[in-house]
Each structure stands twice: as C-alpha cells, then as structure tokens.
Chains A and B, each alone.
Chain A
Amino acid sequence: MDELKIIESCLLGNTQMFSRLIDNYKNMVYNLAYRMSNNNPQEAEDISQEAFLRAFQSLAHFNPSYKFSTWLYQITLNIIRDKFKKKELNPTSLDAPIETDDSEFYLQPADLTNNPEQIITRKEDVRTVQKAIYSLPLKYREVLVLRHLQDLSYIEIANILKLPVGTVKVRLYRAREQLRKILETSI
C-alpha cells in the first residue's frame, strides 16, 4: 500500500494505519532529532514523538505534491527551532565535555587504514568535529546534518528548508568554513 493510500485511509478514520507511516520514517526522524539535539537520546525521542503527533494532527493538510519525508523533516525542524528559541536545547560550548557513546566509532568507512595511530586520530577527529558542529549557529548545523547525516541532495535540502538551492550551497559553504576555522588548530 503506498503512502498516499495510507494517509487517505487514516483520514477516513483508520487511524491505526498511521503506525505504518511511523515505522517507515521513525529512524529518519529520530536520527535528525538525535544529531540536532547534541546526541541526547531522551531529547531525540521527545522531539521525534512530538513530530509524529503533530504530523498526525495535521495530516489533513499534507500536500501530496511534496514528498512525505520533506514534510516530516519540516515539522521536526520546526519543533527543534522552537526548542532552541525557548532555550530548552542549548548549544554547547567548545570547552564543555561532550557525551558520546563509543559505538559511534566502530562504524567507519571502508577505506580505514590499519595503522592504530591513525585510527585514534580519526576517533579524535570525529569527536572534535562533533563538538565543533554543536558550536555552530542552528542554520549551519541544519544544513550540515541534512547533508551528511541524512545524505540528502541540495535540492531535497532546499525543499525542506524552503530556500533556493543557491542559498543552501552558500550555507553549506559557510558552515564548513566556520568548522574549518574552529578545527584548523585542533586537527
């Protein structure tokens, strides 16, 4: 059954069908929330739950000419932005210790070298980059997370953020520039 049929079915009163949409998209939403909320699992779960509940409430207003994922990303990011405004989510300072679980570092790209020293450097890099991301302004963090952790194209990001593709490119560029400046000393 395709997505639109599921949505239609929900709107006709078969609300149980909504669980299929949740199953299809829960990891996508959870990952976005997790990365945007400074890798905080509790915060990530709260944000994702709220995103799906909001999506359910306004299901009648979903515009089928967009991808469902795009709409869901928008809802999730809106919740995150609200939380930032209310200071429920705080950007961490570079000096603050960052909470990371070690599982982060086992899944490495295949081109990993066998030199243990380099593996350690890579772990350090990941940690440092992660720290640096959370010191960036929200608008830069958004594009970086969407581009890298969600592996979206420029066009998809542009649709989600309702920005021209050119602006997305510029933001990505500036985000990386800022990251580079922060990391130049530490990497």
Chain B
Amino acid sequence: MNCQKIKKLLNSYIDDALEVEIAQQVEEHLKSCPVCNKEYQILKKIETALNSFSPKTAPADFTQNIMAKISQREIQIQSSFLDQLKKRAFIPRFSFRLLGAAAATALLVFFAFTFILNTNSPDNSSICSAEVQFSLRISDSNKVHTVAIAGDFNGWDPQANTLQDPEGDGIWTATLKLPPGRYEYMFVLDGEKWLPNPNALRYVKDGFGNRNAILEINNCNST
C-alpha cells in the first residue's frame, strides 16, 4: 500500500474500524514510513486529547427544575385537537425548510394514491361500518420509516392507525372499519411530516395553510 492509501485509512485505523488484515498492513507501513508515522502520531495525540475530556454531571437540581415547570402547567404535552391543528400547520413548513423546497416538491410529485371503498363488508350488526382501504405509494421508501393516518375517526392521533408495507415495494396500506359519515384526514410520515393525501377527490382548507382530504361514506352496503 502506498502513502496516499494509508493516509485515507488512518482515521478508520484509529477508530478500530478496519478489518484485521488491513489494520496489520497499516501497522507495518507505519513502522517503515516516518512521514505517515508522523501524521499518525498527530492524529493519535488529537484522539487522546479528545478522549481525555472528563464527563460532566448535570446540576443537582436539574430534574427538579424541569419538573417544576411541567407541574406548573407552563408546558404541556401537545396532544389536544387544537395542538394537532397547529402542528399540521407548522411542521410541514419546518420540514420544507429543512429539506429545501426542491426536495419537498420532488417528494410530493412521487406520491401516488389509490383509494378503494370496499362495499362488500359482511357486517350484520345494527351499527354498520364500511371497510376502507387506504394506500399511499412512496417512491423512495428508504427515506420513510413509518406511515400513519390521522383524522376525525381516530382523534387525529398520529400513532393510532399505521400503514404497513410488508412487501417493501413502497405501497403502504391500512384497512379501517368506519361507520358512515364525513371524515377529514391526513397522512403522517415518520410521526412528524403531515401530508395531505395528494390524490383525494375532495379537500377542505384546515385554516392553517394546509388542507385535509375528505372521505365520505354514505352507506355500508351490508349484505
């Protein structure tokens, strides 16, 4: 191995992240090459200095201070309906800024939607319900870890109904049993990115700069 190559491996060598054989080769080289060895010694010094920073302990009243703020109700868990609305208005803007407008647009373009109203629900109870299959196609599935649906039917809880992608083909689905009615909903990616269904038939403005998809179930067609 030449010096150029060794130079590139030095960091991993110090991190113990090299395979044994390669590590040995680096070691051999360092013994015989004063130039690389000098560089290694400097890196090693940096490592040693970095690793010798002593851990710090949080102040003794740390937990107490935070809990005092929490119990004074200055701070609350955001889970009320109003907070959900606010969150849907703020979070997308925030993530847009992070991703950059271009990335966000590209993400949206790649979403496709299929929506099947299953009318063959075998439901004989007096309160009937329809099985609704929601599905969302995500072209770059690696970037998304969880997909959920939140709406009027589950109290806008972004964790209540998750979509699954068992085949790993980027098509996430979930089936919900819903009684007839009019529902507003949104998809939630990774528990924080609220996404209006891009292909819904109807929308309503949520008053916070975003829009909810509308789902209307008129009857159950119980057989």
Contact = CB atoms under 8 A, between A and B. Distances in A.
B46 A19 contact: no
B63 A23 contact: yes
Q: Interface residue tally of chain B, by bracket?
A: 35 or more
B62 A18 contact: no
Contacts, number: 139
Nearest to B62: A26
Given A11-B79, A65-B145, A154 B17 contact: yes
Given A18-B70, A22-B63, A48-B62, A129 B50 contact: yes
B87 to A, nearest CB: 8
Q: Interface residue tally of chain A, by bracket?
A: 35 or more
Contacts of B59: 41, 45
Contacts of B200: none
Contact of B56 (A19, A44, A65, A105): A44
Interface of A: 10-11, 15-16, 18-19, 22-23, 26-27, 29-31, 34-35, 41, 44-45, 48-49, 52-53, 56-63, 65, 103-109, 122, 125-126, 128-130, 133, 144, 147-149, 154, 169, 172-173, 176, 179-180, 183-184, 187
7 contacts: A10-B77, A15-B77, A22-B67, A30-B57, A122-B49, A149-B53, A183-B42
Given A22-B63, A35-B53, A58-B77, 17 more contacts: A11-B77, A15-B77, A18-B67, A19-B67, A27-B58, A53-B69, A63-B191, A104-B53, A107-B54, A109-B48, A122-B48, A128-B49, A148-B50, A169-B11, A176-B11, A180-B39, A187-B42
A22 B65 CA distance: 11
B50 A106 contact: no
Contact of B66 (A35, A49, A65, A129): A49
Interface in B58-102: 58-59, 62-63, 65-67, 69-71, 75-79, 87
Interface string B29-65: 0000000000100110111111111111111001101
A16 B77 contact: no
B51 A109 contact: yes
A30 B66 CA distance: 13
A109 B54 CA distance: 10
Interface of B: 8, 11-12, 15, 17, 39, 42-43, 45-59, 62-63, 65-67, 69-71, 75-79, 87, 145-146, 157-159, 190-192
B77 A130 contact: no
B192 A45 contact: no
A125 B49 contact: yes
B191 A108 contact: no
A45 B62 contact: yes
